[in-house]
Amino acid sequence: MRILLEINRDALLQNVKRINTFTGKKLIAVVKANAYGVGATLIASLLEPLEEVAAFAVACVEEGVELREAGVKKPILVLGGVLPEELEELVRWNLTPVVSHPSHLKALEGSFVKFHVKYDTGMGRLGFLEEIIQDRRVEGVMTHLSHPADRSFTLKQIETFRKIVSHYRGVKWVHLESSAGLIYRVDYATHVRVGLALYGEKPLSSYPIELSPALSLKARIISVKVLPAGHRVSYGDSCVLKRDTRVGVVAIGYADGLLKSLSGKARFYYRGVPVPLLGNITMDMTMVDLSSVEAEVGDWVEIVGPHQSFTQLAKEAGTIPYELMSLLSRRVHRVFA
Ligand SMILES: *Cc1c(COP(=O)(O)O)cnc(C)c1O
């Protein structure tokens, strides 16, 4: 085994409870895109027994089917709506579509499938603008906050949605708050729709909930050798060694989600000591400067863990933790710790 993503069960469960306590609402755990790369069936099976988790949300029907096949019994929301040819699967696996376009309603015609209706209150992506759907199959209404860090814009979205919700009497599910959005503690909402914060990654630099980091990503050293000053490292000529250097090769590359743009910028950690990256990240391997540590072939280095979060690493790559995490490859072994 060469790449390990360790998921700390207790930290995850603690984060769920803290989010539930802070918001006073049950969670719709968002596990789309293989639970942001962490492993959807692992995460859903862990969270399924919790009373604080009311449902799961995925992006598409296939992701919902994967969860059902793994034994998930709670409601599963399909955020991306429904295409006509997906109705059969939707019914067979008891998935709940989010209807955000007239074509979704059309696809559900003649069925008894219950659904949530989505509104576009500012995101400019999916959702009706203001049309009220008079249909006994509506069991929820939702919208999505597009810029939770912008208070005045978000308060407008919350107010627009409040007016829409007032037309839906007796609907059991009203939800709009994501990990960042839940700081608004929207009083009329019944659930929060949370993904990133589950893993202890804070979605805003100042966040009112204390979260426990739940993920660590490690990879193994597969070669160590001293190269002389003047020797190049990796593709191209971006790295020429200034002094004799103990160069380690770590078995993780951009094909595993370690973005190439981190080349020459990031560092890994060996037993708590930072080891800088050398040269370009390659598809399957990344070189590090091990001159200051006693590392040997077979040892593990930390890429994400106590010393560096996905959020910090993403910042150095000029991106967001969502992208970095969801790119984690099939070669990554996902295990509970
Ligand atoms: C991904 C997603 C979420 C979860 O967002 P986090 O920031 O990870 O909490 C919530 N709602 C919708 C519609 C989403 O697409």
- Tell me: the pLDDT tens digits for 17-48? 999 999 999 999 999 999 999 999 999 999 99
Please give the pLDDT value at position 238: 96
- Which of 130-144 are b and which e, b meaning 16 or more Cβ less than 10 Å from the residue's Cβ? eeeeeeeebbbbbbb
256 CA from centroid of ligand 1 (Å): 23
Residue nearest to atom 15 of ligand 1 (CA): 79
Mean pLDDT (the chain, rounded): 98
Could you tell me if the CB of 30 is within 6 A of ligand 1?
Answer: yes
203 CA to centre of ligand 1 in angstroms? 11
Span from the CA of 220 to the centroid of ligand 1 (angstroms): 33
Distances (CA, A) of 154 to 45, 60, 145, 198, 202: 33, 27, 7, 22, 19
Which atom of ligand 1 is found nearest the CA of 126?
13
Instruction: Establish whether residue 79 lines the binding site of ligand 1, counting it when its CB lies within 6 angstroms of any ligand atom.
Output: yes
The pair of three-digit structure tokens given for residue 287, joined into one six-digit string: 């070189």
pLDDT, residue 53, reads 98
Each residue's pLDDT tens digit, 156-207: 999 999 999 999 998 999 999 999 999 999 999 999 999 999 999 999 999 9
* Rounded distance between C-alpha atoms, residue 221 and residue 207, angstroms: 36
The full set of domain ranges for the chain reads 9-198, 215-336
83-122 pLDDT tens trace:
999 999 999 999 999 999 999 999 999 999 999 999 999 9
* Pocket lining: 203 vs ligand 1, CB cutoff 6 Å: yes
Nearest to 221 by CA among 316, 309, 296: 296
* CB 196 less than 6 A from any atom of ligand 1: yes
Q: Is 235 part of the annotated catalytic residue set?
A: yes
| β-pair type (3-7, 333-336) | parallel
Asked whether the domain spanning 215-336 has the same topology as the one spanning 9-198, the reply is: no
Cα(97)–Cα(60) distance, rounded to whole angstroms?
9
Best CATH choice for the domain 215-336 from the list 2.60.40.10, 2.60.120.620, 1.10.10.60, 2.40.37.10: 2.40.37.10
Please tell me which residue in 26, 32, 118, 202 is annotated as part of the active site.
32
What residues form the annotated binding site? 125, 283
What is the percentage of the chain residues whose pLDDT exceeds 70?
100
Cα 337 to Cα 123: distance, rounded to the nearest angstrom = 37
Select which of 106, 156, 225, 235 is catalytic: 235
243-248 long-range contacts (CB < 8 A, ≥24 apart) are 245/278, 245/289, 245/291, 246/289, 246/290, 246/291, 247/278, 247/287, 247/288, 247/289, 247/290, 248/221, 248/223, 248/224, 248/275, 248/287, 248/288, 248/289, 248/290, 248/295, 248/301
Which CATH homologous superfamily contains domain 9-198? Alanine racemase (3.20.20.10)
Cβ(178) – ligand 1 distance below 6 Å: yes
**Token pair listed for 154:** 């978000």
* Segment holding 263, helix H or strand E: none
Binding residues for substrate: 125, 283
Strands 26-30 and 138-143: unpaired
Split at pLDDT 50, 70, 90, the class of 331 is very high
Cα 255 to Cα 40, 135, 332, distances in angstroms: 20, 46, 11
Q: Is the CB of 126 under 6 A from ligand 1?
A: no
Q: Which atom of ligand 1 is nearest to the CA of 196?
A: 8
